[in-house]
Amino acid sequence: MTDRQEKILGGLLAAAIGDSMGAVTEHASRRKLKKDYGWVDTFIEPHEALKAKGHQIGLVTDDFSVAYYSALPLIEHRQKVDRELAIEGLLRWNEQPLYAQCAGPTTITTINRLRGRPSPPSRGDLLLCDNSRVTNGGGMKSGMMGLFNPGDLDAAIDDTITLCGLTHDNTIALSAACAIAAATAKAFCPGVSYLDLIEAGIYGAQEGYARSLEHFRPVAASSISKRIALAAEIGLAHQDDLAAAMEEIADVIGCGLFAHESIPAAFGYIAAARGQVMDSLYMAINAGDDTDTVACMTGFITGAYCSSRDLSPRYLALIDEVNHFDLRDMALQIDAIAGNTPET
């Protein structure tokens, strides 16, 4: 594989690893995780609640799977995303019961509407600013748009708005999703540093917000770009103690479902880990709350930055076997569609 293909594979694989490892720790508090598991740095047996849902070691959840299925129509049609292909990918994903059972309320509402069975009106439908929809469901799939636009931050931002605006039609959720996409795209630029990834995330958040203002719903939430900067500042201050960095980021920034927590947290972990892929994933996995989503988003960025050469081949074999994927082939297909990597 070429260097770029290895980086695309790295983004895919690290996102899948983060999602699957993080599924076991999702929703738990840090105190409970530390008591039950110590420090999770490998695949472990899922707890009973997950087993009841059919989860097994190596199985991804809605986080990576929705990104994976969003990419399939693009690969089959050999083109970049448009609204029709975004709809096709979402509906195909919804036909996979093991993944679709994890769908969040925002995504479920969109799928029901697309299938002609709209949900009963809710109070949120009557609000101009439905702040409950400022979630990270766009961010968990937007890293894929960074892989389809290696080195081209602006194209990654535009494609993210097309892909994610379908389900997460508000300015802050899209701002957050664009931060992940832009940082992932930046990982392909020559001579890039982990600090450049953070700057790209801030740029993506600012541009994503500005470009979505005219066509998407306003919401009341804190600035994604400013919270990325704050999270990165915390991470940089604790680079010599990843556990302390994780605790401080989780306490100050948060790592829950809302986009203004989980997306900035991912950049804090990247800063603390100096962009190293597995260290950044371990922090996201052990921080508690929405661990699988944060680890998935982090993995898209640091996996592309470090490339698949920094990831265990055993993990690739496990993810492929359990989920019936072929991530190496997907990386080759994405590379064939992606444009030339800019030299800056």
In terms of Cα–Cα distance, which of 114, 116, 117 is closest to 84? 114
Residues of the chain with pLDDT under 50: 343-344
Spatial separation of the C-alpha atoms in residues 77 and 72, rounded to whole Å: 9
* pLDDT at residue 343, as a whole number: 46
Residues at the binding site are 61-63, 290, 292-293
* pLDDT at residue 103, as a whole number: 74
Can you give the residue ranges of every domain in the chain?
Answer: 3-114+130-337
* pLDDT at residue 106, as a whole number: 74
DSSP string covering 65-129: HHHHHHHHHHHHHTS---HHHHHHHHHHHHT-HHHHTT--HHHHHHHHHHTT-PPPP-GGGG-SS
For the entire predicted model, the pTM comes to: 0.94
* Residue keyed to tokens 């699957």: 20
3 state SS of 218: coil
* pLDDT at residue 344, as a whole number: 43
* pLDDT at residue 107, as a whole number: 80
Q: Is the domain 3-114+130-337 a CATH 1.10.1200.10 member? A: no
Spatial separation of the C-alpha atoms in residues 117 and 64, rounded to whole Å: 26
* pLDDT at residue 243, as a whole number: 97
Q: Residue 135 pairs with which residues in a beta bridge?
A: 258
Q: How many CB atoms lie within 10 A of CB 76?
A: 12
Residues at the binding site for Mg(2+) are 61-63, 290, 292-293
